[in-house]
């Protein structure tokens, strides 16, 4: 089955919370592109991972370091298995076949989506594994994991666990799989956000309503004036080529373009398959060394 990637439409970080996490406000879109994962039950207590690493060459090593070829204890699938087993020891072990396409350090939720796939597998095996508990355990694994359990596009707030399902007009896009590595921890630290616990501002509530309307109508161009990714200035300062990539997406026909998450991937959204093919051809000509992926949502 597909373990889908996500992109962020806007990512505001208004403040750092007293619990040490950062408050976020974003729109998460599920893509029809991602990793392929197959999970089968085996002997209770056993965990096996078989990986086919298809990540772009520059980042392939990052996954190998936490796969069965490296330190498996650092792999998010193993961490998820261990947490689930701590609560439900009667559940079977797993053998996971993973075709890994989503690069790490990309802002695409590659680890979180795999974890959610494993939660979903176990959710179907035990009537005791109720939805409230699964979301609680998922949030303990990673802030983005609950989103991948929702199966919808969402307005996301809190530390990532507050989800509001939204309607999004079907659309298309191009994703640039960039080789640059941006540490999530370093990017958050670079924002230097104050410690506070303010409620959502009236501006965000109003903005959220405007954004929902634009998404429902498929008015991607209108989002340029409504959404920002707070990580872009930091990412573009460190790697100016990422800023140039965004500019090229827009210049070559994308209705909307942005860094996703804390980076480093950049995407462009369009209205129509023909426009997407034209955009892809132009981007491949301008950036022949980059890998581009077409997606729908």
**pLDDT one-digit tens code per residue, 209-236:** 788 889 999 998 899 988 999 999 999 9
Q: Which two tokens stand for residue 96?
A: 């996971």
Mean pLDDT computed over every residue of the chain:
92
Domains parsed from the chain with CATH numbers: 2-162 (3.30.230.10), 169-296 (3.30.70.890)
Confidence of residue 32 (pLDDT cuts 50, 70, 90): very high
Q: CA 98 to CA 36: how far, in whole Å?
A: 6
Q: CA 175 to CA 103: how far, in whole Å?
A: 12
Are 36 and 11 in contact by the 8 Å Cβ rule? The answer is no
Is 272 annotated to bind a ligand? Reply is no
Is 142 annotated to bind a ligand? Reply is no
Evaluate if residue 206 carries a pLDDT over 80. Answer: no
Q: CA 182 to CA 104: how far, in whole Å?
A: 10
Is 158 annotated to bind a ligand? Reply is no
Is 294 annotated to bind a ligand? Reply is no
Task: Give the model's pLDDT for residue 18.
Answer: 85
Evaluate if residue 254 carries a pLDDT over 70. Answer: yes
Is 104 annotated to bind a ligand? Reply is yes
Evaluate if residue 114 carries a pLDDT over 70. Answer: yes
The conformational region for residue 232 under phi > 0 = left, psi -120 to 50 = alpha, else beta, is: alpha
The set of catalytic residues is: 6, 144
């Amino acid at each position: 089955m597909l373990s889908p990637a996500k992109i962020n439409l806007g990512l505001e970080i208004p403040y750092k919370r007293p619990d040490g996490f950062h408050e976020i406000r974003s729109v998460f879109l599920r893509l029809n592109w991602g990793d392929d994962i197959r999970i089968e039950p085996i002997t209770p207590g056993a965990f096996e991972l078989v990986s086919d690493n298809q990540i772009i060459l520059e980042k392939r090593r990052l996954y190998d370091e936490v796969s069965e070829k490296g330190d498996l204890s650092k792999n998010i699938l193993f961490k998820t298995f261990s947490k689930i087993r701590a609560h439900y020891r009667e559940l079977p072990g797993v053998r996971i076949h993973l075709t890994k396409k989503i690069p790490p350090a990309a802002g695409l939720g590659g680890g979180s989506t795999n974890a959610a796939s494993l939660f979903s597998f176990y959710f179907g095996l035990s009537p005791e594994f109720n939805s409230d508990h699964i979301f609680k355990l998922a949030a303990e694994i990673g802030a983005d994991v609950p989103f991948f359990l929702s199966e919808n596009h969402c307005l996301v707030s809190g530390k990532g666990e507050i989800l509001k399902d939204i309607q999004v007009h079907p659309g298309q896009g191009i994703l640039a799989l960039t080789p640059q590595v941006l540490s999530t921890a370093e990017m958050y630290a670079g924002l230097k956000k104050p410690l506070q616990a303010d409620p959502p501002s009236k501006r965000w509530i109003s903005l959220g309503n405007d954004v929902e309307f634009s998404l429902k109508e498929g008015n991607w161009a209108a989002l340029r004036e409504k959404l920002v990714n707070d990580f872009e200035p930091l990412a573009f300062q460190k790697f100016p080529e990422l800023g140039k990539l965004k500019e090229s997406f827009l210049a070559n026909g994308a209705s909307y373009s942005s860094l996703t998450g804390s980076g480093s991937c950049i995407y462009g959204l369009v209205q129509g398959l023909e426009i997407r093919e034209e955009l892809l051809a132009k981007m491949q000509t301008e950036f022949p060394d980059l890998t581009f992926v077409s997606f729908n949502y």
